[in-house]
């Protein structure tokens, strides 16, 4: 039985996302290999769905388990934080000139492997948010398989 997603979301065409990588870059400051999202398929009312297509030419592939490349968990956490930051800033447009820093990760669990060729879909749902701080429950799925979950906290500086 597939894991229960945090929320239901509309059918998403990941080849034509609501926000592409360039659009994310207008809000999030990450550049180069630290960009961890390829797009945001949907967001609304403190919730969002982002995705990352895992490629075989990424910087970590040769060294993170040679012969059996596995996406490092820390990059899953970073991608979830980037999605959460984007959603927070869209809920509070006045923060778009602020830097949102990732301050905490709780209740983190990795439940499956993510390898080149996979599409990792992230869900983020704000549990608490105000202008200065947010707490977001996040999940990562490959197909119907829940591979990652965590609670991400961030703050505007």
pLDDT (0 to 100) of residue 62: 93
Whether 39 has a pLDDT exceeding 90, the answer reads yes
Whether 7 has a pLDDT exceeding 60, the answer reads yes
Tell me if 10 is assigned to some domain. no
Q: Which residues are identified as catalytic?
A: 64
The pLDDT tens digits for 68-90 are 999 999 999 999 999 999 999 99
pLDDT (0 to 100) of residue 124: 98
Whether 1 has a pLDDT exceeding 80, the answer reads no
pLDDT (0 to 100) of residue 143: 95
Tell me if 84 is assigned to some domain. yes
Tell me if 110 is assigned to some domain. yes
Residue 157 pLDDT grade (very low, low, confident, very high; cuts 50, 70, 90): confident
CATH code, domain carrying 91 = 3.10.129.10
Map residue 15 onto helix, strand or coil: coil
For strands 119-129 and 133-142, give the pairing: antiparallel
Q: What percent of the chain has pLDDT above 70?
A: 99
By the 10 Å C-beta count (0-12 exposed, 13-18 middle, 19+ buried), 2 is classed as exposed
pLDDT (0 to 100) of residue 23: 96
Q: How many domains does the chain have?
A: 1
Tell me if 42 is assigned to some domain. yes
Does the CA dihedral 143-144-145-151 come out positive or negative?
Answer: positive
Average pLDDT of 42-58? 96
Whether residue 114 contacts residue 76, with contact meaning beta carbons closer than 8 Å, is answered with yes
Tell me if 2 is assigned to some domain. no
The residue with tokens 């390829």 is: 38
- What is the pTM assigned to this prediction? 0.95
Question: What range does the domain containing 55 cover?
Answer: 19-119+130-156
């Amino acid at each position: 039985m597939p894991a229960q997603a945090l929320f239901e979301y509309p059918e998403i065409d990941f080849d034509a996302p609501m926000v592409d990588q360039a659009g994310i870059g207008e809000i999030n400051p990450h550049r180069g290999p630290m960009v961890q999202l390829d797009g945001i398929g949907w967001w609304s009312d403190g919730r969002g769905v982002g995705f990352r297509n895992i490629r075989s030419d990424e910087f970590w592939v040769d060294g993170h388990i040679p012969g059996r490349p596995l996406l490092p968990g820390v990059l899953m956490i970073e991608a979830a934080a980037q999605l959460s930051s984007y959603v927070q800033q869209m809920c509070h447009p006045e923060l778009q000139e602020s830097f949102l820093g990732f301050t905490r990760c709780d209740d983190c669990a990795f439940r499956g492997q993510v390898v080149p060729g996979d599409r990792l879909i992230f869900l983020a749902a704000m549990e608490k948010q105000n202008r200065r701080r947010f707490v977001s429950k996040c999940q990562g799925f490959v197909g119907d398989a829940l591979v990652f979950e965590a609670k991400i906290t961030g703050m505007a500086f």
